[in-house]
């Protein structure tokens, strides 16, 4: 018995030691690889989000394509049907097209009209960042979250860039990502409803639509009369802008790069209408909504369930504080309350832009303020996080 048992033990031990090293790899990658979402499934999901947007639009839901696709993505993620994020090509395309759309609204007349309120806009931006940092400091006082993680999770704007620099600042990347995208999801869900309620029966002034909405027709997908030239111009702006954004290392390059190129094209006045409209614009908003919704997986919610009540309370404080700043800004400058609210709400810039377009708000003003805050957050937040980490170090 002894000779037979000894070989068995020696056989088992090497197999355990040999198998123990690679075991973590399949466990970590299994949620992503075991049930990958094929291209056909994603095509069905995107088509379903678009169909849900059509139905929501028929019932008069504000920002229907954004809201409906966000809810579709969240339900599929929580049910385990989708365990991956939006496919990279679709994500890059949606970011670049949103950037091009933002740049198309920043016309010379829009920038001139925003110049008189430049100082109040700067004050509101600084106050928003200060409010977020103060709320993050109180959130970290409980001791269950480090101050860098709290600051990076609470600051509004630049979610992708903030999550990217979280590891460098020794913050909890997963917690920062969840907090950022939870805020984006809450704002994307509530902003259309709030804007619809604030606008009431009166129509917000806003930018004359860069393109038609529902009445543009299926073949009218860009703002100009020459559709082929406009589509070609849009593709060039998206590709060149994405490349330039990466080379210049601007924050969220796939969004800001095309926005800057589109801004230059719009200011030149020599480029035909290229802004996405109609079906193409709605499809972009569907991708934006799905990209936010599919991030709320069951595993992510379980991992942060103890902190969720505190995070939600802090987010409510930030959102109410931004609404108060919008009310003050509207009173001081005479800006319509809907425009002021969308300009100061702690976005998702993609979701806020979709809401501004759908509610016929002043998209140029909203884009300018949100872009200014995004750049300020990306530049200032790492410095604040390092300062808090050095002065009040936590184990």
Written as tens digits, the pLDDT of the chain (395 aa) is: 444 444 444 444 444 444 444 444 444 333 343 445 577 889 999 999 999 999 988 887 777 888 888 889 889 988 888 877 888 888 889 889 988 887 887 777 777 777 788 888 888 888 988 898 899 888 888 767 888 888 888 888 666 667 656 666 677 777 887 888 788 788 888 888 888 888 763 444 444 444 334 445 667 888 888 889 889 999 999 999 999 989 988 767 888 889 889 988 888 877 778 889 889 989 998 998 888 888 888 887 787 788 888 889 998 999 899 999 999 999 988 888 888 888 888 877 777 877 888 778 888 788 778 877 776 777 677 677 777 666 555 44
Evaluate the CA torsion angle 69, 313, 95, 148 in order and state its sign. Answer: negative
Tell me the angle at which helices 147-154 and 173-199 cross, rounded to the nearest 10 degrees: 30
CB < 8 Å & 24+ apart, contacts of 228-231: 229/272, 230/272, 230/273, 230/274, 231/274
Asked if omega into 348 is within 30° of 0 (cis), the reply is: yes
Three-state SS for 96-133 is HHHHHHHHHHCCHHHHHHHHHHHHHHHHHHHHHHHHHH
On whether the CB atoms of residues 243 and 264 are closer than 8 A, the answer is no
Helices and strands per DSSP (H, E), number in the chain: 18, 0
On whether the CB atoms of residues 380 and 129 are closer than 8 A, the answer is yes
Predicted confidence at residue 251, as pLDDT, reads 66
Predicted confidence at residue 24, as pLDDT, reads 45
CB burial of 150-160 (b: ≥16 within 10 Å; e: otherwise) equals: bbbbbbbbbbb
Phi first, then psi: give them for residue 204, nearest 5 degrees: -70, 145
Predicted confidence at residue 111, as pLDDT, reads 72
Residues contacting residue 223 through CB under 8 Å, at least 6 positions apart: 104, 210, 211, 230, 273, 274, 275, 277
Half-sphere exposure of 22 (CA within 13 A, CB side): 4
Predicted confidence at residue 21, as pLDDT, reads 47
Phi first, then psi: give them for residue 200, nearest 5 degrees: 60, -135
On whether the CB atoms of residues 322 and 128 are closer than 8 A, the answer is yes
Predicted confidence at residue 165, as pLDDT, reads 64
Concatenate the DSSP letters of all residues of 286-351 into one string: HHHHHHHHTT--HHHHHHTTTTHHHHHHHHHHHHHHHHHHHHHHHHHH---HHHHHHHHS---HHH
Query: What's this model's pTM, rounded to 2 decimal places?
Result: 0.67
On whether the CB atoms of residues 344 and 322 are closer than 8 A, the answer is yes
Predicted confidence at residue 192, as pLDDT, reads 83
Burial class (CB in 10 A: 0-12, 13-18, 19+), 39: exposed
Closest among 323, 375, 313 to 346, alpha carbons compared: 323
Phi-psi region of 355 (alpha: psi -120 to 50; beta: other; left: phi over 0): alpha
Q: Tell me the chain's radius of gyration from C-alpha atoms.
A: 23
On whether the CB atoms of residues 185 and 296 are closer than 8 A, the answer is yes
């Amino acid at each position: 018995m002894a000779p037979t048992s000894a070989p068995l033990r020696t056989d088992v031990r090497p197999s355990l030691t040999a198998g123990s090293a690679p075991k973590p790899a399949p466990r970590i990658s299994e949620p992503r690889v075991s049930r990958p979402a094929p291209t056909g499934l994603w095509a069905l999901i995107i088509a379903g989000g678009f169909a849900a947007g059509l139905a929501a639009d028929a019932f008069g839901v504000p920002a229907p394509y954004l809201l409906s696709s966000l809810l579709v993505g969240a339900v599929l993620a929580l049910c385990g049907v989708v365990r991956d994020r939006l496919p990279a090509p679709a994500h890059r395309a949606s970011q670049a097209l949103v950037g091009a759309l933002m740049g198309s609204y920043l016309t010379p007349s829009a920038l001139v009209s925003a110049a008189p309120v430049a100082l109040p806009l700067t004050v509101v931006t600084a106050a928003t960042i200060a409010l977020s940092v103060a709320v993050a400091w109180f959130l970290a006082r409980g001791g269950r979250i480090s101050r860098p993680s709290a600051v990076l999770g609470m600051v509004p704007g630049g979610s992708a860039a903030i999550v990217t620099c979280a590891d460098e600042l020794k913050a909890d990347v997963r917690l920062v990502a969840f907090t950022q995208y939870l805020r984006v999801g809450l704002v994307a869900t509530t902003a259309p409803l709030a804007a619809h309620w604030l606008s009431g029966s009166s129509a917000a002034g806003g930018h004359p639509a860069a393109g038609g909405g529902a009445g543009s027709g299926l073949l009218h997908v860009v703002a100009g009369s020459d559709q082929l030239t406009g589509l070609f111009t849009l593709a060039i702006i998206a590709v060149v802008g994405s490349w330039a954004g990466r080379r210049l290392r601007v924050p969220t390059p796939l969004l800001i790069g095309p926005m800057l190129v589109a801004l230059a094209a719009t200011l030149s006045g020599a480029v035909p209408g290229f802004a996405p409209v109609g079906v193409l614009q709605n499809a972009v908003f569907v991708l934006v909504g799905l990209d936010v919704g599919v991030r709320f997986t069951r595993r992510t919610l379980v991992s942060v369930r103890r902190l969720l009540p505190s995070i939600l309370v802090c987010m409510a404080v930030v959102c109410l504080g931004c609404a108060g700043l919008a009310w003050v800004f509207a009173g001081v400058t005479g800006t319509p309350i809907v425009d002021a609210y969308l300009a100061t709400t702690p976005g998702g810039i993609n979701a806020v832009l979709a809401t501004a377009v759908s509610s016929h708000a002043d998209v140029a003003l909203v884009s300018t303020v949100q872009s200014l805050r995004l750049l300020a957050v990306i530049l200032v937040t790492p410095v604040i996080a390092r300062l808090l980490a050095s002065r009040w170090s936590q184990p």
